[in-house]
Amino acid sequence: MTASADLQMRQRAAVAGGVGTRSIFAKKALNAELWDVDGRRFIDFAAGIAVNNTGHRHPKIMRAVAEQAEHFTHTCFHVAPYEGYIRLAERLNAIAPTGAENRTMLVTTGAEAVENAIKIARAYTGRSGVVAFSGAFHGRTLLGMALTGKVMPYKKNFGPFPAEVFHAPFPNPYLGFSTEEAIAGLERLFAADVDPERIAAFIVEPVQGEGGFNVAPKEFLIRLREIADRRGIVLIADEVQAGMARTGRMFGFEHAGVKPDLVTMAKGLAGGFPLSAVTGRAEVMNAAHPGGLGGTYAGNPLAVAAANAVLDVIEEEKLCERAAEIGRRITDRLTSIAARQGMERIGEIRGLGAMVAFELVEDRDTKAAAPDITTRIVAEAEARGLILLSCGTRLNVIRLLTPLTIEWEVLEEGLDILETSIEAALSILRPQRPDPCSPERPEPGSLRHSP
């Protein structure tokens, strides 16, 4: 029996069945590579679900954590505060794109950041309603699930959810749903279901993560900002997955030039250590009464030290620029693959920076979802040593989240494996290869690409 098989048996006997996992049991990892307990090497195109933007075990981050551990590991910031937390808050205040004087609070998970952002918006406005969007993901707590616009696997069987959470449509140009239609849907919500004067906040991702890497059109975010200003609503940018240089900017909202009131961060913030933050306009952030925000582990000293090192690495290694180049190389390869005969099931390639995905369809005309093909590609890649993740409300999108520090040769090796895996997955469905001289060849121009 392999070590992996043994661990699978132990996991089934010890771990709750609702904790979904893969069959890769990690032993060690470095930058964009991971080795399992049986010595198999994998190239990591998941990065811990966009957590390891700075790679596994970046030396600077590991040194910062080790140095902090020599001093103290926990005091609780409410009991004995420390300089590292304050310094990180100062740095996040300086970079958060609100266009105003900012304040920051630290917590531990993305869901905590989201929940605290909602609390702060409610305290500031004196209102209780919140509008999220279809396809959104905002966490697995009860409020996080209520805000999330994707049922499987996050919401099924876990209700009822907190009240006064409403969902409006999110644009999806690929499926023919425009910004104008989305805004009209929001206005219908205000006319039919909830008075906008009861709404404390809009919460929106600049690029939907679990929803399928749907990029929020610039005009959509501009319109939300205008409506928020007109209605006295706080605009919350959920940058948990898109933030920390992932999209080629420090924050995804920066691509649209739209200034949110509050920004939630987590995942890539601390290079693999659990930490999240809410940063926003001082007048909004200061609305909560003293003692109303925080938590026992909020702003853990080791994670804070890691986060300060992450910000150094992003600047010193120019990871925003590197993310843009990674995205270009991935998109170019996927475009080349999709243009080939037999690859018509790749319906769209989309994303920002190094947050890239491709959608699998039965054919490009109907755009009917192909979740079985998606699952097959992920499995083929894993068998060949490449870690991929799927997403999307139709379960038919593969997302590529390489560390932003990935070596170029490792990136190309991973893309080679990806191409081979797509070919293998589609070969089962592909009819006998036609005569290459036949004039009946597919039109690659039918493939859409988002900007």
User: 3-class SS at 280?
Assistant: strand
Model confidence over 389-448: pLDDT tens digits? 999 999 999 999 999 999 999 999 999 999 999 999 998 665 544 544 544 433 433 344
Residue type, 229: D
Same structural domain, 199 and 263: yes
Residue 352 lies in a domain: yes
User: Residue 398 has what DSSP assignment?
Assistant: E
Model confidence over 153-200: pLDDT tens digits? 898 888 889 999 999 999 999 999 999 999 999 999 999 999 999 999
Same structural domain, 399 and 260: no
Same structural domain, 113 and 166: yes
Residue 443's pLDDT is 40
Same structural domain, 215 and 177: yes
Same structural domain, 29 and 120: no
Q: What percent of the chain has pLDDT over 70?
A: 95
Model confidence over 325-347: pLDDT tens digits? 999 999 999 999 999 989 999 99
Model confidence over 85-121: pLDDT tens digits? 999 999 999 999 999 999 999 999 999 999 999 999 9
Domain that holds residue 398: 3-57+319-432+445-449
Query: Which of 4, 238, 44 is CA-nearest to residue 130?
Result: 238
Same structural domain, 417 and 303: no
Residue 440 lies in a domain: no
Residue 344's pLDDT is 94
Residue 162 lies in a domain: yes
Same structural domain, 274 and 357: no
Any idea what the CATH number is for the domain that residue 363 is in? 3.90.1150.10
Residue 430's pLDDT is 57
Same structural domain, 339 and 311: no
Same structural domain, 164 and 297: yes
Rounded to an integer, the average pLDDT of 253-261 is 98
Structural domain count, the chain: 2
Q: Which of 316, 337, 359 is the last residue of a domain?
A: 316
Q: Measure the CA–CA gap between 404 and 51, rounded to whole angstroms.
A: 11
Residue type, 122: R
Distance (Å) of CA 404 to CA 95, 245, 351, 371? 19, 8, 15, 28
